[in-house]
Amino acid sequence: MKLSDLADALNCELRGHGDLEISGVAGMDQASASELTFLANPKYAHKVKNTRAGAILVSQPLPKDSTTACLLSVNPYLDFARALALFYQPPAPQPGIHPLAFVDESAAVGANPSIGPFAVVGPRVRIGRNAVLHPHAVIYEGAEIGDYFLAHSHATVREYCRIGHRVILQNSVVVGGDGYGFAKRADGSHQKIPQSGVTVIEDDVEIQALTSIDRATIGETRVKRGAKIDSLVQVGHASVVGEDNIICAQAGLAGSSVLERNVLLAGQAGVSGHLTIHENSVVYAQSGIGGDVAAGSIVSGSPAFDSREWLRAITAFPRLPELLRTMRQLQKRVSELEAGRPSKPEPSTVRDE
């Protein structure tokens, strides 16, 4: 694709030779003379002078002495993603229903499906048009799914769950597995609590590999529009994941957690359940949330608190043993002075000011 055509497709302003042929997209360090790269973070600006890329997506014009063509973009990272979509074409699934797939006679599948071998569509399932089920995807009885659904191999949608339009389930996702509920008997053994609720996934949600969204004991677990959930995430029963949430790998939500819109949970964050993380909050990696988080907060640590205070706290933490020794020595000196017995400081650990 000519650079001028690419600029038109991305609605970017071209600076440089529009006849340059662009064959693909790559990172700044790996890009060749026929590839497009991008600069989204100013701290990497020093790499521009050394890149071999034929063109670069930037938010500001390059220095006058630069010979690299550029596309001026309001959001270089977003336009880089759009450019990548123009060049990368994933394998197209085979249309139709494979002879080795099983689709129950009571199920309704919309127009233009692609259902691979050993995929299973159970009784009374409803699936919209343009659905793609890769081999070994399984849709349990009574599930309702919208248009443009994509389920990769071994993804599972359990009974009676509801899924909106343009939802993507990566490999081995489980939507609507049983919530973790047991009642203890008098003898200490455990009685399983029936998980009679459902899981609801709204439009434009993507869930990455090996993630589990549990069904509710009663009522529903809900993942709202536009949420993106990474691999190895656990969403407990009756939880709510808000609009446009980002939940990173290995995060866990205990039952009845509520995340409002635009919440970001970084990797391995843990939410103890029966609480609300209000909108526009950020939870740093490995944080433990034990109570409600106010709107717009940025929290860290376990238990989590304001990230600025947390940064000061972790800076002091390695010095705590030294500070504790000094405090004990000072307490000892004060006690001896009050008793009228002056003492000598230990020169190795105490300094006179």
In angstroms, what CA-CA distances link 297 with 152, 227, 270, 281, 306? 36, 19, 16, 5, 7
Contacts of 325 by beta carbon, 8 Å cutoff, 6+ apart: 349
- Give the C-alpha separation, 280 to 232, whole Å: 23
17 is catalytic: no
- Catalytically annotated residue among 136, 152, 237, 278: 237
How is residue 21 annotated by DSSP? Answer: B
Beta bridge partners of 13: 72
Q: CA–CA distance from 129 to each of 114, 136, 215, 238 (Å)?
A: 10, 20, 25, 29
Q: Which token pair is 236?
A: 């407990």
DSSP code per residue over 292-314: -B-TT-EEETTTTEEHHHHHHHH
Rounded CA-CA distance 139/119 in Å is 8
User: Which amino acids are annotated catalytic?
Assistant: 237
